[in-house]
Amino acid sequence: MINRTVAPPITDAVAFDLRLKPCDRYTLDNQVPVFAINAGAQEVVMIEWVFYAGNWYESKNIIAGTTNFLLKNGTKQRNAYSINEYFEFYGAYLNRSCYNETATITLHCLSKHVAELLPVVAELLTESIFPEQELAIYKQNQKQRLEVNLKKCDFVSNRLIDEYVYGFHHPYGKYTSTLDYDAVERTELEKFFNRFYQQGTCRVFAAGKLPTDLDQQLNRVFGSLPLNSAALPEINYSLNPATEKKYRIINDKEGVQGAIRIAQPFFNRHHPDFPKVQVLNNIFGGFFGSRLMSNIREDKGYTYGIHSYLQNHIHHSAWMISTEAGRDVCEATITEVYKEMELLRQEPVEQEELDLVKNYMIGSLLGDLDGPFQIIGRWKTYILNGLDEQYFYNSIDTIRKVTADDLQTLAQQHLNPEKFYELVVV
């Protein structure tokens, strides 16, 4: 019997032997690869179709996002209402999302209903017609939402800082206007749909309590479609960052709060220093116990929260510091951010703080592997970024072995105020 008067021993997370559950892999008849995690106690399934159909591949602004959104709004056989009613009848949830390089269709449902739902997903990929009425409603709603959001300092700051870091004509840096929505034509959506969905490069990710014959079901419904029949075009964009580094924007003369963004272009996951920089970033501003939070939130009381992070993009990335603060303390907040950069450049991180962050990061990894949906999400990140499971183990090894001297050297290389774009929108 357990003696409950004695506390159990505490084990540092860095001592855990973390393992990434392997994913099953198979290929449909049309060479579409499928990655699957069969695990979990509940009879639920998530299946995600990932297409290289993000705004990286559009020739006109917002065509990719509009096409993705309207996939669910009408086919040759069903209108938008019928599509939604069909999935709701089975207690399923079908969502779609568009990102910079990729666009997705994601199905969540009970395992026993997969066979009834897959044909309708295939119907969206083969027979979507983008009705003019649905397009008109989408345009109207998006323009109204944009007009509301443009009054918010945080929304405006997110748009502008990406433009400064990447350049307005880079897919990561461009943003939309109401005129962009007015300019969208249905024929442009049909053309994009045909090229990047019907014949597009596709990857399928599945997780949960999977039916034993899921591979056969997927192949029967999707294996004969012309997916992957057209080679993905080679499109490269160069960074064209702004020449000025400091910006102050008045968005609301009566506003009492300012949105602060401080960012610099940065390397992506393929750079050998990326895992070490993630450790440095967590110390700097990557979690609730970080230096930025301790100083600017807890000590100074300038903000409710402040964070730093490396943007999750495939081709290029940026190191970003983001917060909202009172209008009267925005400049003081920026000063404190640079002070924390200087401390990391000048003084090695104490071992106690470093151990705390290492345990936090390993513990977070452990939480990220809790369940099949989380596991397939990590696999998807690696696969779409051209990485393998060894990246997972190398990252853990880096977290365990990185030293205070390593981090100080990285801080001296990268945490220099003159490298950062600085924006305040009030």
What are the structure tokens assigned to 281, written together? Answer: 């970033």
For 232-266, the pLDDT digits (tens) are: 999 999 999 999 999 999 999 998 999 999 999 99
The secondary structure of 207-218, three-state, reads EECCCCCHHHHH
What average pLDDT does this structure show over 63-86? 97
* CATH 3.30.830.10 domain range(s) in the chain: 24-222, 246-425
Tens digit of each residue's pLDDT (9 = 90 or more) over 48-65: 999 999 999 999 999 999
For residue 349, with 0-12 CB atoms within 10 Å meaning exposed, 13-18 middle and 19 or more buried, which class applies? buried
Neighbours of 240 (CB within 10 A): 13
pLDDT band, very low/low/confident/very high, at 17 (cuts 50, 70, 90)? confident
| pLDDT attached to residue 98 | 97
Q: What per-residue confidence (pLDDT) applies to 376?
A: 97
The two tokens of residue 94 are 């079908």
Looking at the DSSP assignment, which residues form a beta bridge with residue 308? 321
Rg of the chain in Å (alpha carbons): 24
pLDDT over 80 at 1, yes or no:
no
- Considering the chain, what is the average pLDDT of its residues? 96
Class of domain 246-425: alpha beta
Average pLDDT of the segment spanning 322-346: 98
Yes or no: say if 134 and 231 are a contact pair by the CB < 8 Å rule. Answer: no
* Topology of the domain covering 24-222: Cytochrome Bc1 Complex; Chain A, domain 1 (3.30.830)
pLDDT band at residue 367, thresholds of 50, 70 and 90?
A: confident
DSSP string, 87-149: HHHTT-EEEEEE-SS-EEEEEEEEGGGHHHHHHHHHHHHHHB---HHHHHHHHHHHHHHHHHH
Q: What pTM was computed for the model?
A: 0.93
Beta carbons within 10 angstroms of residue 134's beta carbon: 18
132-180 per-position pLDDT tens digit: 999 999 999 999 999 999 999 999 999 999 999 999 999 999 999 999 9
105-132 pLDDT, tens digit each: 999 999 999 999 999 999 999 999 999 9
CA distance 393 to 19: 8
